[in-house]
Chains A and B, each alone.
Chain A
Amino acid sequence: MRAAAIEHLGLRSLQAVAHLGRLAQFVGLLLLHAVRRPFRVRRLVNEIFDVGVLSLVIVALSGATVGAVLGLQGYTTLSRFGAENSLGSVVGLVLVRELGPVLTALLVTGRAGSAMAAEIASMVTTQQLDGLRMMSIDPIDFVVAPKAVAMLLVMPMLNALFIGFALFGGYLVGVALLGLEGGTYVTSMEQSIDFPNDVAGTLLKSTIFGALVGVIATYRGMVSEPTSAGVSAATTGTVVIASVSILVADYVITALWGI
């Protein structure tokens, strides 16, 4: 009984290691196809449309709401110390350093990463990838790489747009609703945020998150079971694993480089 449990543990460990190995191989292939001809520009534009343009509304809406809430919460706390004039810097720093990249990545995971995994998984189920291979078209080159690259490229842009909309939301609440002075708000924000520490950090974070989500979504789709349950498992697995990876990676990046 006990031996069986240990055997089971051993099997699971071996499976986990094998998965990591296949994942590394997969990432290598992705990188290779991303830099090697033929460049599938049309496919890439199509994917940028799916991941970027179609995620724009939810990102803008969430950004404006998050910024507005930060403005309200920050105002309540800061006014207790008579420091309402620092609201701009509080809202700006929180957004640029943390909430922007993390929330954008979580939103994009739910909006586009899940769809990406489901699409690939259903192609596995209906043997479309095998069909491509029969026509000697490499499915990684044709289907997978454009998706992962689009995710990587789009994430920093969506992050910047999220932060832009959130700053606007915070400005609306702080200046129009709570009656702070507009100039003070903007100046305190612009003075406390600087490029090398904060803005470069937010771009680096969101690029790393984009790579994570892109790789996890496509890999999980590729290794799914060829059944309907496999498709749904791939979708759920992508959202869960990608979300957790984003949060863990966020902690690691912040701890390592202080951004």
Chain B
Amino acid sequence: MKPAPVRDLLVGLFVAAGLGAIAYLSLQVGGISYKGPGGLVLYATFDEIGGLKERAPVAIAGVTVGQVDGISLDAELRARVVLDLDPALELPVDTSAGIRTAGLLGDQFVALEPGGEDAMLTSGEEIDFTESALSIERLIGRFVHDAGVDE
């Protein structure tokens, strides 16, 4: 079969577009891009994590700096959350972690609030100050209960 320049060009373009689409799905949509090598791994223990899931974002001042890498139950029956963060971050040892909700019905994420100490957290260390997830049902329950007591 003889070479046919136009057909070969079209096939080349098609293959390039196809591989491009696969790459787009894998990297952009699938998000295997955010996996920095040797990330800063920190642990945090919460009384209540609500609907927090693995791969939920971790944010400082609303800027995503990492993700939740694992959730497990520790020996004291509290939730132990593994955070995988950008290794370039320098977080003071008195940084606190809280579980927040994006909007009223949005997904939950971990918000970090840097403290003021000079010593910095290194990989593998524990964040001591944690704030559990806010449960709307519990809040409403408390509100109704308090209202009842006032009367």
Contacts and interface: CB of A to CB of B under 8 A. Distances in A.
Interface of A: 42-43, 45-46, 48-49, 52-53, 56, 82-83, 85, 92, 96, 154, 156-158, 160-161, 163-164, 167, 189-191, 193-195, 198-200, 202-203
A164 B21 CA distance: 7
Interface size range on B against A: 20 to 34
11 contacts: A48-B11, A49-B7, A83-B105, A96-B25, A157-B17, A157-B19, A161-B21, A191-B107, A195-B32, A199-B26, A200-B30
A164 B107 contact: no
Given A164-B24, A199-B25, A45 B107 contact: no
A43 B3 CA distance: 10
Interface string B3-34: 10001101100110111011011101111100
Given A42-B1, A85-B105, A199-B29, 5 more contacts: A82-B105, A96-B25, A157-B17, A190-B28, A200-B30
Contact of A157 (B15, B29, B30): B15
B38 interface: no
Contacts of A45: 7-8, 11
A156 B1 contact: no
A146 B42 CA distance: 53
A190 B33 CA distance: 11
A154 B11 contact: no
B142 interface: no
B55 interface: yes
A156 B11 contact: no
B21 A43 contact: no
Contacts, number: 83
A154 B22 CA distance: 12
Contacts of B10: 49, 53
Main secondary structure of the interface of A (DSSP, over half): helix
A198 B32 CA distance: 12
Given A43-B1, A85-B103, A193 B22 contact: no
Contacts of A200: 30
B106 interface: yes
Nearest to B6: A49
Given A45-B11, A53-B11, A195-B26, A85 B18 contact: no
Interface in B48-64: 55, 57
B29 A190 contact: yes
Contacts of B11: 45, 48-49, 52-53
Contacts of A158: 18
Contacts of A82: 105
A160 B21 contact: yes
A157 B105 contact: no
B15 to A, nearest CB: 7
Given A53-B14, A164-B25, A202-B25, A46 B32 contact: no
A199 B30 contact: yes
Contact of B18 (A83, A161, A189, A194): A161
Contacts of A46: 1, 7
Contacts of A83: 105
Contacts of A194: 30-32, 55
